[in-house]
Amino acid sequence: MISPEPTLVRLDVAKSLLLSPFGLDESHLWRALAEIKAHKVNEADLYFQYTRSEGWSLEEGIVKTGSFSIDQGVGVRAVSGEKTAFAYSDDISQASLLDAARTVRSISTVAQSGRARVATKKIAKSRSLYAGFDPIASLDSTAKVKLLEKVEQLARAKDPRVAQVMAGLAAEYDVVLVARADGTLAADVRPLVRLSVTVFAEQNGRREVGSAGGGGRFGFAYFDDALIGKYVDEAVHAALTNLEARAAPAGEMTVVLGSGWPGILLHEAIGHGLEGDFNRKGSSAFSGCIGQRVAAKGVTVLDDGTIADRRGSLNVDDEGNTSQRNVLIEDGILKGYIQDGMNARLTGVKPTGNGRRESYAHVPLPRMTNTYMLGGNMAPQEIVASIKRGLYATNFGGGQVDITSGKFVFSASEAYWVENGKILYPVKGATLVGSGPECLKRVSMIGNDMRLDSGVGTCGKEGQSVPVGVGQPTLRLDGLTVGGTA
């Protein structure tokens, strides 16, 4: 038996949800694009989206809220030089398509001579990184409630100091269809689930918090008993550790970052600075540095949207380009930037599969997918043992970054004070202060334990949020400034 080609299957699913119910077919898409092309524009596209989402949350032993929503619509975009005209509507119809097309083409007042035509149709190349099914239907409502109640019971059974447990379960079924004036037609069917656990612990009038969780592009069956237990253990451990934490010392010192989620510092302090729009405009600390050393030897940073089932992965990006594995920094040398279509065209390079948007109501921007640093050859225990006096940070909360200067401030949610290679005690209130480009040059040891995060990351840029992944091995950074409370 011959299986149908996955790319064509996804196209059929997208058409059945986004075109057929509204009396549309491909001819209507090409007509709308031809209306835009009647004026001289560099690029034009239609972005259709259908999103069904569900969320459940538990607090104080009770599943207090449950939500379900469906959203659908189309965004119509025209690009002329650096200018973008954009219109969107939740009314998917031929009339609204044509109205939007005539509106956005006004970005160029120069009419094309003769009849405008759209290029010959071509199905975009695509990957098959995850199953195209509805994850919401992968578990019934009763089982979802029981899963959250199990989280509560497991956490409270761990330690009498556990005072409060909050847990959340979320799922999304996202179907997109992209048609471009160059004839490209692309589609993707994107499942996404996430389980989050937050634990509050109390002791002697002190109250601390710990959190854990994960997810990706699969169904709820991923959250088996072993994984649920792991998330609960991590959240409870973090909360109880913080109960014993002392005030963090301040000053310039050696800092060792743990593997996995601490890669969020890499994402924020370095990754955003490598996005194509900031570099085209010259506003990034990394602008004009291609081919130059921007990091210590051994530092290799990738943005990879092709990892199976990962939260940040995409079969195609939101402009219909195939996702890629992009080497951004190799052995300390800057090799390239993350590009969407417009910024790639304006800088004379190819798109990298990083054109992303939050929804049909937003324009695409160059955005990260799964951004991580490759591992080295050092055992993580050796790296921690090398610290004479310094900080070992294993988990992070929020932070802020200035793209132009590269300066960042990040708060550690779980960290330890180390002297003479021995972990002495947990600390609270530690913040890392520095510059992304300078931070990369201070890497002196790279662990052999590269690990991706558990699947919880969401990235914000210009008011848009998209799911992402981060990762790194254990890293030693010399001479980093730590702001503390001691």
* Three-class DSSP labels, 71-140: EEEEEEEEEECCEEEEEEECCCCHHHHHHHHHHHHHHCCCECCCCCCCCCCEECCCCCCCCCCCHHHHCC
Please say whether the beta carbons of 367 and 465 come within 8 A: no
Question: Which band of pLDDT confidence, cut at 50, 70 and 90, is reported for residue 4?
Answer: low
Predicted confidence (pLDDT) at residue 403 exceeds the cutoff of 90: no
Residues 6+ away with beta carbon under 8 Å from 260? 451, 452, 453, 454, 471, 472
159-205 pLDDT per residue, tens: 999 999 999 999 999 999 999 999 999 999 999 999 999 999 999 99
Higher pLDDT, 115 or 42: 42
Question: Which band of pLDDT confidence, cut at 50, 70 and 90, is reported for residue 1?
Answer: very low
Predicted confidence (pLDDT) at residue 482 exceeds the cutoff of 70: yes
* Phi, psi angles (nearest 5°) of residue 105: -70, -15
223-277 pLDDT per residue, tens: 999 999 999 999 999 999 999 999 999 999 999 999 999 999 899 889 999 999 9
* Phi, psi angles (nearest 5°) of residue 153: -65, -45
Best CA proximity match to 91, nearest among 28, 10, 11, 18 = 18
Q: What is the pLDDT of residue 180?
A: 97
The whole-angstrom separation of Cα 326 and Cα 353 is 9
Predicted confidence (pLDDT) at residue 2 exceeds the cutoff of 60: no
Higher pLDDT, 354 or 116: 354
**Token pair listed for 73:** 């619509």
Predicted confidence (pLDDT) at residue 484 exceeds the cutoff of 90: no
314-331 pLDDT per residue, tens: 999 999 999 999 999 999
pTM: 0.95
- Which residues are registered as beta bridge partners of 355? 366
52-99 pLDDT per residue, tens: 999 999 998 899 899 999 999 999 999 999 999 999 999 999 999 999
Predicted confidence (pLDDT) at residue 480 exceeds the cutoff of 80: yes
Alpha-carbon distances, residue 230 vs 193, 225, 235, 294, 451 (angstroms): 17, 9, 9, 37, 16
The whole-angstrom separation of Cα 328 and Cα 301 is 6
Q: What is the pLDDT of residue 254?
A: 97
**Token pair listed for 100:** 């939007």
